Amino acid sequence: MSARILVVEDEEALSALLEYNLSKEGFTVSLSADGEDALITVEEEKPDLVLLDWMLPSLSGIEICRRIRARAETREIPVIMLTARGEEDDRIRGLDTGADDYLTKPFSVPELTARVRAVLRRARPTISGEVATFGDLTLDRETRRVRRGSREVHLGPTEFRLLDCLMQRPGRVFSREQLLDLVWGHDVYVEARTVDVHVGRLRKAINRRGERDPIRTVRAAGYALDETYAS
């Protein structure tokens, strides 16, 4: 599972360049050229990071950032602001408004990806590293091994991706539809019920010894990792 980045940029050439390079680096990229549209996308897709241009036609980048920060559901999403040279005061205002970092145009691709990774690492320590942990659960993306305490847990590929997805955002409730998109992919037609079957298999594997279930079923909403479990 790769981090999902929303690029909000009205300059088509730059947004195409960003999409190309970030995808090549393994990120999943969505594009938006307009402020109102960007806010809807942030709300619906809950990206892992927003790359936000300062100068946009309808809403300014600063206003978009302010609105992202104002809503409880989107508050934690990291934002990197893209500014033009000579907007120093604005830059500082940008950080005041809650941007996590800024990049001055023109920037190099390595500079961009380094900043993106650094901000992702700070925001969600589990997402960019190879090993994610939650309570006594450990998931290693490189070796594809999962452990519960000292016990090795054997998971099928779908259960592995499902757990990886939940572990990236402990506490966040994922709907069945979101899990279908994130774990199975947008283009695959699978019934929502299939998610329940695989969550059942995942639970069986990780709770095999009768340990406490770290997965919470949220009625009529979906599934989440129980935050009270890890604390």
- Is 55 among the residues that bind Ca ion (CB under 5 A)? yes
Burial of 157 (C-beta count, 10 Å sphere; 0-12/13-18/19+): exposed
**β-strand pairing of 145-148 with 137-140:** antiparallel
The smaller minimum CB distance to Ca ion, of residues 13 and 220, is found at: 13
Does position 95 interact with Ca ion (CB under 5 A)? The reply is no
Strands (E), 54-179: 79-84, 101-105, 131-134, 137-140, 145-148, 151-153
Q: Retrieve residue 179's tokens.
A: 């899990």
CB of 20 to Ca ion, least distance (A): 18
Whichever of 57 and 157 has its CB closer to Ca ion, that residue is 57
Piece in contact with Ca ion (CB under 5 A), picked from 54-62, 114-122, 154-162, 196-204? 54-62
Assess 14 for contact with Ca ion (CB under 5 A).
Answer: no
Of 4-12, 100-108, 176-184, 213-221, the segment contacting Ca ion by CB under 5 A is 4-12
Please say which residue, 51 or 165, places its beta carbon nearer to Ca ion: 51
Is 87 a residue that touches Ca ion (CB under 5 A)? no
Nearer to Ca ion, 12 or 191 (CB): 12
Among 27, 32, 47, 53, binds Ca ion (CB under 5 A): 53
Q: Please identify, using beta-carbon distances, which residue of 31 and 137 lies nearer to Ca ion.
A: 31
Give the residue closest to Ca ion by C-beta.
55
Contact residues for 25 (Cβ-Cβ < 8 A; gap 6+): 113, 116
- Supply the DSSP string of 11-54, one letter for each residue: -HHHHHHHHHHHHHTT-EEEEE-SHHHHHHHHHHH--SEEEEES
Long-range (24+ apart) CB contacts under 8 A made by 158-162 are 158/183, 158/184, 158/198, 159/198, 159/201, 159/202, 159/205, 161/1, 162/198, 162/199, 162/202
> By rule CB under 5 A, what count of residues binds Ca ion?
3
Least distance to Ca ion, CB of residue 155, Å: 44
Token pair, residue 51, equals 């790359």
Q: Which residues are paired to 216 by β-bridges?
A: 224
Pick the binder of Ca ion from 10, 37, 181, 227 (CB under 5 A): 10
CB of 39 to Ca ion, least distance (A): 16
Listed ranges 53-61, 98-106, 124-132, 154-162: which one lies at the site for Ca ion (CB under 5 A): 53-61
Residues forming contacts to Ca ion in the complex (CB under 5 A) are 10, 53, 55
